[in-house]
């Protein structure tokens, strides 16, 4: 697991009703329990806390340790800068305790003269994993002071040594890290303390995943994603339009390539329309569509594209040559079912419902959530890409891990919501996300938008209603 996953799990845990107060309480308790298990009780313990959530964990640890030990809490920094509600709550609680000594150290001149020689254990809760670069004063002086007592007292860091991975870091005996080891952590001993995350968080897609997926990087037009949607036929024009419309809320530019016959019915200044002569795509169009694809970050192919033999040939030939990340949806899935080898070496997401999954792989996704997930993992591994199996619970896998999404409702059985989903996944690919994250977050946002529509209209709505709710779903995620 990675440090980024810590933030995602914390946000998703909150969405499930597991409050940050609970996680901080469990983290601090885990640190205190580990110290007493390793070193016993009746100790003199110094806890150095910063003003962030790592410091908040230190406040809780100090409270637990004070029951059978003599504890002094050193707050390094200005108490007015204690940021989060849960850290402030635990600070205010600590201040009411008569048997915990508290010293506030606002600048380095107050730290340098400190004598820690009477302490058996020094707890480092100064900085968490989000810190970049070398620590600044007065934290730097606190780190240097703690390191003066390395090998003289036992030094225990909360989550990771403060200052890590810079050269100015606490020289700890070990760190108590939470729930799992992190792949970025090296060169120091770790003890893992569980803090109350449920098993669901390994697999559940939530607002934490979406927050990271929706980050925009550029400040100029086109730097935040360009997407091409390829679809439409003589029979369908709404499907590619819904995909493109949904995507337009997330990326800077959306190109919509359609046969001219159906393109004439589209009139939306937010999309860049690229009509192709005739009623359906044919192999003769491949070169020109590839030329448009060269200028974008990702491609969605399939919505409303139809099942004519010449169109299937177009789809297969396009996929053989297109090197951009792809979302392969709807009728394009039926085209590749005849030649899955066309996917080799490509970065892609397939978006089948249960019936399309059976056509692609010959297997019915049935049984429990975990049984269906196992099948999706197996097939994703076989084809070397990502599968988003649509259903009451969407299941997503890249062949290594699997995720599931439970936003959405029965009203979303209405035609077109799958096209909205394809557009969202394509947009998230265009923003630079991995296929697994793009597919997972696309499913989450699509379902969330559907749930928002249901709150207003109950279960009688159209896919276009869902598409129009996308910006509100994004706003909800970013503010969560």
Sheet harboring 298-301: ordered strands across? 272-276, 253-259, 226-230, 298-301, 326-328, 348-350, 386-389, 394-397, 402-405
Contact call for residues 51 and 78 (beta carbons, < 8 A): yes
Give Cα 237 distance to the centre of its chain. Answer: 33
Q: At what angle do helices 85-95 and 20-39 cross, to 10 degrees?
A: 50
Predicted confidence (pLDDT) per residue in 244-263, tens digit: 999 999 999 999 999 999 99
- d(Cα 123, Cα 244) in Å, to the nearest integer? 54
pLDDT in tens, 298-350: 999 999 999 999 999 999 999 999 999 999 999 999 999 989 999 999 999 99
Q: How many whole angstroms from its chain centre is CA 331? A: 29
CATH topology of domain 207-479: 3.40.1190
> What is the domain partition of the chain in residue ranges?
3-200, 207-479
Q: Is 444 within 8 Å of 209 (Cβ atoms)?
A: yes
Mean pLDDT, each 10-residue run in order, the chain (480 residues): 88 96 98 98 98 98 98 98 96 97 97 97 95 94 98 97 96 96 94 96 97 84 90 96 98 97 94 97 98 98 97 98 98 96 97 98 96 98 98 97 97 95 98 98 98 95 97 97
CA torsion sign, 227 to 440 to 15 to 453? positive
User: What was the pLDDT predicted at 426?
Assistant: 98
Return the CATH number of the domain spanning residue range 3-200: 3.40.50.10260
Structure confidence at residue 131 (pLDDT): 85
Q: Cα(72)–Cα(317) distance, rounded to whole angstroms? A: 71
């Amino acid at each position: 697991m990675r440090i980024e996953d810590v933030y995602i799990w914390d946000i998703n845990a909150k969405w499930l009703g597991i409050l940050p107060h609970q996680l901080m309480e469990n983290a601090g308790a885990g640190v205190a329990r580990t110290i007493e298990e390793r070193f016993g009780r009746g100790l003199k313990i110094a806890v150095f806390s910063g003003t962030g959530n790592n410091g908040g964990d230190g406040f809780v640890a100090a409270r637990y340790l004070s029951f059978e030990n003599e504890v002094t809490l050193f707050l390094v920094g200005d108490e007015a800068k204690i940021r989060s509600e849960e850290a402030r709550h635990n600070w205010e609680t600590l201040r009411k305790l008569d048997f915990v000594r508290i010293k506030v150290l606002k600048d380095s001149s107050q730290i340098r003269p400190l004598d820690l020689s009477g302490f058996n254990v020094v707890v480092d809760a100064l900085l968490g994993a989000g810190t970049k670069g070398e620590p600044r004063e007065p934290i730097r002086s606190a780190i240097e002071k703690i390191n003066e007592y390395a090998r003289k007292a036992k030094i225990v860091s909360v989550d990771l040594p403060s200052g890590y991975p810079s050269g100015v870091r606490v020289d700890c005996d070990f760190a108590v890290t939470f729930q799992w080891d992190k792949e970025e952590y090296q060169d120091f001993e770790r003890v893992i303390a569980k803090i109350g995350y449920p098993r669901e968080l390994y697999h559940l897609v939530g607002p934490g995943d979406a927050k990271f997926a929706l980050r925009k990087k550029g400040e100029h037009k086109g730097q935040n994603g360009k997407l091409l949607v390829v679809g439409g036929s003589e029979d369908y024009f709404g499907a590619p339009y819904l995909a493109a419309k949904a995507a337009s809320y997330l990326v800077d530019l959306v190109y919509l390539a359609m046969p001219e016959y159906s393109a004439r019915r589209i009139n939306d200044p937010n999309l860049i329309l690229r009509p192709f002569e005739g009623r359906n795509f044919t192999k003769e169009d491949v070169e020109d569509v590839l030329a448009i694809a060269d200028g974008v970050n990702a491609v969605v192919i399939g919505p409303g594209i139809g099942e004519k033999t010449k169109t299937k040939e177009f789809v297969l030939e396009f996929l053989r040559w297109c090197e951009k990340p792809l979302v392969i949806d709807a009728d394009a899935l039926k085209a590749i079912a005849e030649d899955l080898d066309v996917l080799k070496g490509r970065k892609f997401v397939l978006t089948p419902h249960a019936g399309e999954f059976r056509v692609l792989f010959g297997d019915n996704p049935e049984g429990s959530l975990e049984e269906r997930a196992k099948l999706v993992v197996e097939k994703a591994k076989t084809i070397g890409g990502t599968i988003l199996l649509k259903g009451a619970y969407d299941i997503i896998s890249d062949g290594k891990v699997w995720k599931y999404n439970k936003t959405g409702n029965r009203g979303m059985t209405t035609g077109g919501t799958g096209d909205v989903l394809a557009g969202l996944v394509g947009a998230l690919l265009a923003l630079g996300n991995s296929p697994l994250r793009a597919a997972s977050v696309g499913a989450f946002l699509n379902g969330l938008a559907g749930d928002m529509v249901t709150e207003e209209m109950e279960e009688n709505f159209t896919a276009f209603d869902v598409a129009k709710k996308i910006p509100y779903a994004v706003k909800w995620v970013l503010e969560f």
